[in-house]
Structure 1
Amino acid sequence: MFFAPAIRTSRFVPRTYDRSFERFVNDAFSTATARQALNVEQDEKTWTLTLDVPGLSREDLTVGIEGAVVRIESKADAKRQFKAAYELPQDIDVAASEAKLENGVLTLKLGKRVPVSNAAQLAIN
């Protein structure tokens, strides 16, 4: 068997190759199944996010909404750790939103906030 040491300089191995390899390894060994188990549907008034979170109970999860960002986290003492954040294209109406957990499937119905127009009409004299 012939062994040739690899010389790693910017001239021979571009940094994009290193970053691509890091992303590949991180995605392969991280909790990629949690990111792949998301289903998003929308209609005129709501978004519906369906997320698989097996092994977690209602008491183990917290759902936070800030503007257009939804953060879902498990508590520190939960059996299984889960952490995700999703940004939606429009602000979320918290009063019109609800969360439901059944058989390891978290369903979030998030109301769309209607943008308030500050336009005013001027009378022409």
Structure 2
Amino acid sequence: MFYSLASRPASRFQRRNPALTNNGALDRFLDDTLGSLSGTYGTPAATVEDGEKAYSLQLDVPGLGKEQLDIGIEGDVVRITSKADAARTVKAAYRFPVEIDTANSLAKLENGVLTLTLGKKVPVSNVASLAIN
């Protein structure tokens, strides 16, 4: 009895599961949560300027009023979302190099442009001196 090796193209052994690689729900989830952090498709037009004591973020949100927007600041991340009753959906998140000082921050909406002035939190040193006996 003789056995011969069958030569098969390598592509037959490297099958890709289309259910895992083309998962629309996963793509939508990643776009909604991480898309605006990296500046990918789906984020509104925005400009960020780095000042000495504050960041300036301008975001185009035409057709929305100030009562239809929510702005959340958590540490160094700023999230801007539209409420459920808004005329259009806005979801954006921006990460900054330093934490945002909410006491020195303000938001202004004028002619469809949301302008955020985000104060930089000055790092406080918690170093304590220890006396040598």
TM surpasses 0.5: yes
- The answer as to 2:112 corresponding to 1:104 is yes
Query: Matched residues, percent identical?
Result: 58
Q: 2:73 aligns with which of 65, 77, 82?
A: 65
Match of 2:93 in 1: 85
2: CA distance, partners of 1:36 / 1:81: 10
TM-score (norm 2): 0.68
Name structure 2 gaps, 5 residues minimum: 1-10, 32-39
1: CA distance, partners of 2:129 / 2:68: 51
2:70–2:83 contact (8 Å) kept in structure 1: yes
- After superposition, the C-alpha distances for 1:3-44 in whole angstroms (9 at most, x for unaligned) are xxxxx866377x9xx57xx97xx98xxx93x62511000112
SS of aligned partner of 1:54: coil
SS of aligned partner of 1:115: coil
SS of aligned partner of 2:93: strand
Match of 1:3 in 2: none
Match of 2:14 in 1: 11
Name structure 1 gaps, 5 residues minimum: 1-7
Match of 2:62 in 1: 54
The residue type equivalent to 1:95 in the other structure is A
SS of aligned partner of 2:43: helix
TM-score (norm 1): 0.72
SS of aligned partner of 1:59: helix
